[in-house]
Each structure stands twice: as C-alpha cells, then as structure tokens.
Amino acid sequence: MKRRAALVMAVAMLVGCQREQRDLRLDPPVAAALDQVAPTANGIGGAPPDVYVALGGPYESNAYNLGEGKRLYTWFNCKGCHADGGGASGPALMDGWWRYGADPVSLFVSLRDGRPNGMPAYRDKLTTEQIWQLVGYVQTIGMASATTAAPSRNDEMQSRPAENRAPAAADLPTPPSR
Amino acid sequence: MALWAALFLAVGGAGRAEDAPGRAPAAAITPETVRGLRLVSTFRTGNPQAHVASPQVAGDRLLVFTPFPHTLFALKVEAGHLRVDWTFRPDGNRMVEGVACCGLGLPGPAVAGDRLLLNTLDGHTIALDAATGRPLWDVPSAAVPRGETLASAPLVAGDRVIVGTAGDDFGIRGRVAALEAGSGRPLWTRFSTGSDQDVGIGPGFAPFYDRDLGRDAGVTSWPPGGWERGGGSVSGTLLHDPELGLVFHGTGRPAPINPDQRPGGNRWSSGLFARDAATGAARWFYQLASHDLHGVSGTGPLLMTDRDWKGVRRKLLIHVGLSGYVYVLDRVTGEVLSAEPFVPVNASRGVDLATGALLRSDNKTTRIGTMTRDVCPSLTGPVTPGGAALSPETGLLYIATSRLCMDIEPRPATYMQGTPFTGANLRAKRPPNGSLGALVAWDLAAGKPAWTIQEDLPVLGGPLPLPGGVVFYGTYDGYLKAVGARDGRVLWQEKLASGIVAAPTFFTAPDGAQYVSVLAGQGGALGPSAGLEVDARDATAARGLGNVLRGVPPPEDGGGALYLFALP
C-alpha cells in the first residue's frame, strides 16, 4: 500500500516535472531558430518560426513565461511609454486596435526591430526568448478572449482589469481607484 | 515697438512683460461690446493631434504651428477671411513620437523683426524669413536618440537666441544654449547638473539663500554618475530682461521620479536660474525643492513686472509653480517674497521665506515600493508653461489651472537610453473638493484669488486678458469664453468642435479690424498628454490622467481648427 502510494507520487512528480520543465537558458540552436520569423514585406503578419510551432506556442499559454513577460514589461521601460496598456507617448496596447497587427509575428517584429514612429528596437537589449515572453504578455493585455493561462497577480498599483479577467477588450467595470 | 509688444503677448508667456510699452489697443472689446462677437472665418490645419501652440501674430500675418509632424502656416486676414500666405514643413524624425512625454505639440516661433525662430519637437532650431517662410539656417538643439526633445519656443535676447532642451522623463541632462541669431552659431551652453564650470557657476554667482551654495554641488548632491542623467530640463518659459541683461529659466524635476535612486539635494534640478544673457554665467539660483519628491519642477510660467511691494518699488519675477504656489521673487536678487497656493496643495505646508525651503508634509513623502495616496498637486502639473498672464489694467494674474491630485508609487527605474527613466506608477485623482479645473484671477499682493471660475475639466486653453476689461479662455469641453476681468462674470461664450488646449490670441489686421482667434483641437480623449490611441480604462494611461478623465467622451474630431471672431 505504502509502496503503491510512493509509486503514484513518483509518477505524479514526474508528470509534474515534465509539465513545468524549464531551462535556465534556451539551447542556443533553439534560440537562434526562434528568431527566424518570416514577416511579410511590410513587416505586418507572416509565418512564425517552425520551432515555435513545434514547441506548441509556449509563450502564449504558459503562466511562467507570461509572468516573465510581465516583469520584463516593467523592467525594460515599456511601461513608461505604453503605461499598463492604456498608452502615453506610445499607443494603447489594450484597445484592440493595432497599427501593425496582433499576431505573434507582428508583435515579435515590433519589439525586435522597433517601428518607425517611435518604437525603439529591443534587438540588442533582450534575448530572443525574452522578446517572445513579452509578445505573450502583450497579447494578454489586448486579449479579446479568455485563455487558460495568466501572468502573476499584480502586487503594484491596480490600474485596469487584470489580465486573467479577459475579455479585456470588452467594457468591463473599471477597477476601484481608492 | 508696438508690434513687438503685441507679438510678445502672443508668444504664450515667452517675454511677456506686463508693462511692455505700446501694447496693441484692444479696448474696443469691452464687457459691453463683447456680446456682439461673431465667427467670421475658420481654417483647418489637417493635423489630428493636440494643438497646444497659440496662434501668433507676426506683422500682418497670423501664424499657426501644428503639432509634430509640423506645419507652420502663415495666414493673412483679408476682409475677414483667412488666406494661406505661405507654409513651412520641416522634415521630421518620426522616432521622436516615442520620446515626446506630453504630446506632440509645442509653442510656435519667436518673432524677431523680419525673422521667425522656430523650435521643432525633434530638436531643430530653425530661422525663417517671416515674409516668405524660407529657411535661413537650421541647427540641431536636441538629440532624439538620447531622449531629448524641444518643448518650448526659442527666446530672442538681443542678437542671441536662447534654446532649452526637454526630456525629464527620459533621463536627459538638461541644458540651455545661446545661438547667434544671424547664423545659428553656438555661443554658450550651460547644463542643469554637473560641475560648476558646466553649470556656469563662478565668481559672479550670488544666490539669495545659503542653501543654494556649495562647490560642484551639481555633482556632489547626486549618487555617483546620477547627474549625467539627472533631468533638470529647460523645457518651460524662458524670459529676458534686457535692462538687467539677464535670462531667467526654470529647471525640470530630477530623474528618475523614484527618489530613492537619487539620494541628495539633486542640484540644480527643480529650481530657477537667473543667467547673464551674454555669457550664460549663473547670477542666482533658487531651488524650489531640494531632493524633489513630487515633481515640483521649475518649468511653470515665468512673468515679470515692476511694482510696489510692501511699500518698496521692486523688480518682480512671478513663477506659477508646479508645486501649486504662486511665487513672487525679487528678480535682481532671487529673494522669495511670497509663495501662496493657487490650487489644492498638501504635498507641502508652504515655503519658509527665511530659508527658502519648501516645507514638506510628513504624510505625503514618497518611497520606493510604497503607495502614497491623494498627494496634491499631481505630477502632471497644475498649470502649463503658457497658462498664466498678467493684466496691467487690473493688476491681476490670470491662471488656467488643473486641480488634480495623485496616487504615486515609486518603483525601480533602469536607465536605457531613449526609453523612459521614470520609476513611478501614477494615477491622477480628483481634488478633495471642487472641480478638476478653474480659471483663477490671482491677487499678487494679497496672495489669494480675487475670483475663481470653476470648470468641470482641467483648463488648458488660456488665458488672454485684453485691456478693455475682458479675459478670454478656452475649455476642455470646447467653449471659448469671455469673462469680466474684474469680476469673473461670464459675458459671452461659443461652443467649438473640439476641446481648447491653447490660449486665444488677439490680432489687429492692417485695416484696423480687431479679431480674437483661437485654435480648437484637443487631440485624443486624454488631450495633450498622450497621443490619439489611448485607452482610459487603464488608470495609469497618460501619466495617470486616465483615472480622472475616463468618463469624458472623446471629441468627434479632435483635430486642429482655427476660429476667427470679430465685433460687427
């Protein structure tokens, strides 16, 4: 009986490990492959890298990656220009309106290469994986449908409907500001 | 000379002297006649952003300067109709749109005889032939990749042009420079932080208060290297007193906003400088806030007037401060004679006139990782650089105010060139009582309002006092209003297509006809503090304005339109 319980636990742990397996650093070949987006000529839309598909789009659906994206969003000063998605010198990211497309490839290119009307290129500041984590997070800001994963809770100033309260684009009651 | 003075009046604060001789006679517009004002002509600029530059008068032309990407229109008024005489469209660096903290507009050109001197958002200072709009020279004054922009008009001081850079939100090192007016050749540059030599502090420096002394304080009052990205922008009004040979300017708040990253007095940020116009050497300095916690910043309006002050004739400098106080200083010595609140203030308890120190409120200090609630005024500022004007007839100071408070939560900021170096979550709040905006008629001697007109929304469009006893201003919900200069009685109003965020302008055509012109064009839902694509469900949008302006319906068409009104 005891042994069986131990076995069940071991299996459960293994499965758990597999679910949340995280590398400290991406394999260099994987990282390089993740950079191989094929945007269309105007930099809007296009094909994601094969490896992105093979990995199962891990940046949109994994809470750890979304949480990292949220952290990077503050650390790399996105917040100063886009606020919590409501916009300032940069456009709003939560209004459901995109200048360059809402798909992961457009967002990836927006972040990696910058955009001509004031979006700085983050190519030299972030790793490919970090850019993908941000892409995943940015998608949750402007999300029009609920997903199963959400970034970590906001411990700072509450500013807008939380990411896990999708659809954010719908007219949700605004958070209390007291 | 008459022309000059009229032009000065229109520059939105720059060089505005109450007793400038020969001010254009506009006495025809009085509390009795103003009711007859009617619309005679309109002109659309075609730019959808917030139009914060007041129309300006240059000879027989009316200048309209659009937000970035800029167009400068020179219009002529012929028999009540507006006609485009010439246009000037400088090439623009579109990357500037990311680093323009507070909208894409800035005040229009300074007028110097047959020349115009223009600052562009993306950092050019350009001299133009006023008759044709042909550029004469074009020099770089701010570096966009470093987060620098230009946010104020150049100041003409004799044969020099003075230009200051903006960008406190991007961790710039604020500076002011003088160019030769004829050629654009650089004459001197002085910084707001760094060594005494860089700042222009030498033997002639004599601040009124001892606390503003200290060798190389622009380095030693910062953590190592902090001064190199310490803000102190010169983005507000520049003022010239030819008699004293001085140029006055404020310095912006220290960067980042998070105070725990910059222990020390953060000299020479958040203060006022008087500099020798010829050399840029500092004559005096007054720090409005040492180790500024709340964005006190010295970039509010500056005006000058000579008056009897407590029985003594004094040369006064008026500073309408972002700390919420109207400061009256002696502009020869830098002594603060009075500092009284014109909006709700609780971040501080007043100014100690003996030491010059701002007395902070213990319960409103800010600290990293801590939210301080309901701090008044808000960091977005209670007044814009062009938001105050003196009337020689009434002696009153008219101020267009935003009555906002804030919740502020400092967080760590990382310096990355060309990205924001702020480190604070901000959310604007309503004041404890009263409305979000007001037109205040301030009695300088009494240190309190003579009268106040409450407005539901922040007032960013004005004021324009005229000698006939009428003050014009525009509201965020799109009304141009004329009120009695002595009593604040509303005499006349007209609804325009969009919110007004620039002061109206008075204009006399060559045929003697008198006009009041105003630009409507608030831009997006949150006005000049953000672009068109804002979503006010985010309380922190547009530096926290989302939280209080959330319910305001966006204009149907927020783009720029000039309206010309005349008496029959």
SS3 sequence, chain A? CHHHHHHHHHHHHHHHHHHCCCCCCCCHHHHHHHCCCEECCCCCCEECCHHHHHCCCHHHHCHHHHHHHHHHHHHCCHHHHHCCCCCCCCCCCCCCCCCCCCCHHHHHHHHHHCECCCECCCCCCCCHHHHHHHHHHHHHHCCCCCCCCCCCCCCCCCCCCCCCCCCCCCCCCCCCCC
Question: Mean pLDDT across the stretch A47-73?
Answer: 86
**pLDDT, tens digit (0-9, with 9 covering 90-100), for B169-223:** 999 999 999 999 999 999 999 999 999 999 999 999 999 999 889 899 999 999 9
pLDDT of residue B26: 52
pLDDT of residue A1: 52
Say yes or no to pLDDT of B275 above 70.
Answer: yes
Of B422, B429, B535, the CB nearest to A92: B535
- In whole angstroms, what is the distance from residue B430 CA to residue B179 CA? 43
Asked if A118's CB is within 8 angstroms of B98's CB, the reply is yes
Say yes or no to pLDDT of B420 above 90.
Answer: yes
Residues of chain A neighbouring B409 (CB-CB closer than 8 A): 156-157
Domain ranges of chain B: 2-566
Most confident of A57-66, B109-118, B553-562: B109-118
- CATH number of the A23-171 domain: 1.10.760.10
Where does B208-287 show beta strands of DSSP type E? 238-241, 246-251, 271-276, 282-287
**pLDDT, tens digit (0-9, with 9 covering 90-100), for B511-555:** 888 999 999 999 988 999 888 899 999 999 999 999 999 988 888
Say yes or no to pLDDT of B15 above 50.
Answer: no
Among B3-12, B46-55, B367-376, the least confident range: B3-12
ipTM over 0.85: yes
* pTM of the full structure: 0.92
Of B407, B422, B531, the CB nearest to A87: B531
C-alpha B336: how far from chain center: 21
Q: Is some CB atom of chain B closer than 8 A to the CB atom of A81?
A: yes
Say yes or no to pLDDT of A84 above 50.
Answer: yes
C-alpha pair distances (Å), A119 with each of B100, B304, B423, B466:
12, 41, 19, 44
- In whole angstroms, what is the distance from residue B188 CA to residue B161 CA? 11
Asked if A79's CB is within 8 angstroms of B538's CB, the reply is no
pLDDT of residue B41: 96
pLDDT of residue A119: 97
**pLDDT, tens digit (0-9, with 9 covering 90-100), for B309-366:** 999 999 999 999 999 999 999 999 999 999 999 999 999 999 999 999 999 999 999 9
pLDDT of residue A168: 45
Beta bridge partners of B481: B473, B493
pLDDT of residue A39: 87
pLDDT of residue B350: 97
Please choose, from the candidates A78, A88, A93, A157, the residue with its C-alpha nearest in 3D space to the C-alpha of residue B406.
A157
Q: Is some CB atom of chain B closer than 8 A to the CB atom of A142?
A: no
- CATH number of the B2-566 domain: 2.140.10.10
Residues of chain A neighbouring B48 (CB-CB closer than 8 A): none
Q: Percentage of chain B surpassing pLDDT 90?
A: 88
Residues of chain A neighbouring B536 (CB-CB closer than 8 A): 86
Q: Is some CB atom of chain B closer than 8 A to the CB atom of A13?
A: no
**Mutation site for B-interface testing, chosen from A72, A78, A157, A158 by largest number of B Cβ within 10 Å:** A157
Reported confidence tier of residue A154, pLDDT bands at 50, 70, 90 = confident
Asked if A79's CB is within 8 angstroms of B530's CB, the reply is no
Domain ranges of chain A: 23-171
Shortest CA gap B244–chain A (Å)? 40
Asked if B100's CB is within 8 angstroms of A89's CB, the reply is yes
Chain B interface residues facing chain A, Cβ-Cβ under 8 Å? 94-101, 169, 371, 407, 409, 411, 413-414, 416, 418-422, 425, 427, 429, 529-543, 546-547, 550
How does the average pLDDT of chain B come out, rounded?
93
Of A75, A86, A157, the CB nearest to B546: A86
Q: Is some CB atom of chain B closer than 8 A to the CB atom of A69?
A: no
Question: Mean pLDDT across the stretch B357-376?
Answer: 96
Q: Is some CB atom of chain B closer than 8 A to the CB atom of A71?
A: no
Asked if A81's CB is within 8 angstroms of B98's CB, the reply is yes
- Who has greater pLDDT, A170 or B140? B140
How does the average pLDDT of chain A come out, rounded?
80
Reported confidence tier of residue B4, pLDDT bands at 50, 70, 90 = very low
Q: Is the peptide bond before A167 cis (omega within 30 degrees of 0)?
A: yes
Say yes or no to pLDDT of B34 above 80.
Answer: yes
Say yes or no to pLDDT of B3 above 70.
Answer: no
**pLDDT, tens digit (0-9, with 9 covering 90-100), for B447-466:** 999 999 999 999 999 899 99
Asked if B422's CB is within 8 angstroms of A80's CB, the reply is yes
pLDDT of residue B568: 85
